[in-house]
Amino acid sequence: MADEDSLVSRKVAPEPELAPYQIEAARSSRSKCRTCRRKIEKGKLRLGILLEGPFGTGYLWHHLACAARQRLEDVEAAYAQKAFGEGLKVPPLSELQTLEEKAARARAERKEPPFVERAPTGRSKCKHCGEPIGKDDLRVALAREVAFGSQVRTSAVNVHVGCVVDEIDTEDCATDIDGFGAALRQNSDDASLAEEALAAIGVLDDWPPSDK
């Protein structure tokens, strides 16, 4: 897919430094939001975050609203630097901060297993096989019943994508195979990660099988 103006390459020249942030109305519909991966329509406010790479320097774009929800610090820094043109109508920062609060609350409420995320570090271990889950690997949280004395409580345990089927099969697992795909889609923050996980798990994607 064309993604032409998401990374504007520049000649290596001593010329004017690009500001670390740029907020503007998208000049075309060709850029893609790095947060939600969808197209940024022409005229929509977008936040560019300067990336200095080996092949040039340019902006990676995000919908301004997406950036506020996922990386408010960058938005706040951009506002502090007044990284937008004079005539540009931008929402007040407080509005974007409210967006972030709402998104954070929604995320916290949705943390109901099963869900999938990328492991933020390499320090977690798979509850099924005991092996570490690599940083940025898909990590699936399943519900497990744990006995505390006479009480049984449900907590979330993390497993490798490849260990999901076997873990669901265990007696302690409180996540059902029925409706697993739908639940994973609903509970995961990132819809594309849910699809990726379901594709990797495979057998659960269409469970129970529609043709008996």
Site of interaction with Zn ion (CB under 5 A): 33, 35-36, 63, 66, 126, 128-129, 160, 163
CB atoms < 10 A from the CB of 208, how many?
A: 9
Shortest Å distance, C-beta 80 to Zn ion: 22
Shortest Å distance, C-beta 201 to Zn ion: 12
Closest CB to Zn ion among 36 and 200?
36
Closest CB to Zn ion among 35 and 207?
35
Shortest Å distance, C-beta 125 to Zn ion: 8
In contact, 49 and 31? CB cutoff 8 Å: no
* Distance, CA of 61 to CA of 120 (rounded, Å): 22
Closest CB to Zn ion among 129 and 165?
129
Tokens of 99: 């967006």
* Distance, CA of 146 to CA of 160 (rounded, Å): 20
Shortest Å distance, C-beta 178 to Zn ion: 22
In contact, 25 and 31? CB cutoff 8 Å: no
Closest CB to Zn ion among 26 and 66?
66
